[in-house]
Every structure is written in C-alpha cells, then in structure tokens.
Structure 1
Amino acid sequence: MIIEEQLPAVTALIQKAASDSDSVAFNALYALFPKKTPAQKVHATLEAACTAIADLNTAIYAVVMVKKDTGLPGDAFFVTFKAIRADEYATIAGDTPHLHLTPAQKQLMVNAEKARVYLHAKA
C-alpha cells in the first residue's frame, strides 16, 4: 500500500540522488516516514516513486537506494534487474539465483543500471 502523502518527498529524494549521480542510504528513505511505518508500505511507496520517474524498461531508479553496510541495493533490485534485463543478468551471472550473486556480480549490475539511471536523470 502506497503512502500517497510521502510520495512527493520520496520522488524528490530519488530524483536528487539520480541527478547528482549519487546514491542514498535506506535510512534516509525511512526518515521520510513516521516512525513504525511498516517496511512494506515504505517499499511500495518507493516503487511507486521510481516507476513514476521512469518505467522499469527505461531505468530502474531503485538502484540509487543502497544499504549502508554494503553500498549496494537490496535484494529486490536484483530480482527486478533479472526480470527486466534477463539477457544482461545472464551475461554477468549466468543462471545464478539472485541470493547467490557475488559482490562483484552485484556491482556489475549496479554499475550498468546506475549508468542508465544517471543518463535518464540528466536528459
């Protein structure tokens, strides 16, 4: 369930990171919501913001959201990347399930998608 009143702030957070060719930590996203907001609602709102900026075939904007400890997006990004960019995923990782990707494979996917996102944001 999307939290409509947070949608503009989430969209702005994502767009700023993309236009600055940067990333943003998930804690910055959660800071935009009232405490104890269910993660499901936060992520649904994030997904809505990202797809409002660009359809997934054009650019997967969620790539700018990163975990503080790894600097990489969460698992949902890699699931989406595999679904939308199946050929590219296979070139990088073969038939490796997303939960078994190496950090190097993840980084290659992230780099490829960030290039698309940053280019789209500048257009």
Structure 2
Amino acid sequence: MQYKRNNSLMITSIETVIMGLVLIFNHPYDDPTRPVFHAMNLFQSWPMCASLLVLGGGVLILTICNYHKHFADFVATVLMAALWMAYLVTFFVQDAFLQPSVSVATILIGFVFIRILLDAFFHFERGVWIG
C-alpha cells in the first residue's frame, strides 16, 4: 500500500518547534501573588518549552522519514492535539485574567488546534493516514 506524506502534520510540527523557541526566548512576567496567573505561567517555563521542542522535532522527523508503522501518524496527531489544546486553554485563561479581550496568540493557537482536529477527523481511517 502506498502511503502519502502527512504534510499538514509536518507544518504543525514546525509550528510546534517555533512556538517552543519563541517561549524559551520570551520570558513572561510572573506574579506569584496571583495563584491562577502563576500556575498558568508554568506552561511557559523551560520543561514545557522542552516538551514542545522534543515533540515537534520528533514528529517532524517522523513525517520527513514518511514513517507509517505502528499507527505513528495517529499517535503523533493525538499528542500534538493534546499539547496544543493545553496551550489553547492556558492562553485563554491567561487572557481572561490579564485583559478584557482574547489575544492574537490565543486565536492563532485556536486555529492550529482546529486544523489538527480537522486533519484527524477527515484524514484517518482506522488510525491510518489516508491523505
């Protein structure tokens, strides 16, 4: 069976690596007196940025090598969706506490998450990428 390369997952993995790099070099202000804001700020700390880099880099290598065994595309899509959903919720809660409107970063993260969901719902059949 001839498999197609999952280009959408490749673009999402590049976005994940870039987001990890941006969060590493962008040190946000932390206010320990506000517990919710302090807890949400943990998503922008070094371990979470490292998870973005590792997962994004791993999925990028997976898609460049066109590896399709052991439901690798499906597992990578689920992991990417979970990570982007966590960041969407985090940025949305942070926006709710900091400003009266939703920021552009939250909207863009939402679009990436929606693209991952659409990709998962319409391009997988029994866990196998069908292009």
Normalising by the residue count of structure 1, what TM-score does the alignment of the two structures yield? 0.29
More helix by share: 2
Q: TM-score, normalised by structure 2?
A: 0.28
**Bigger Rg over Cα:** 2
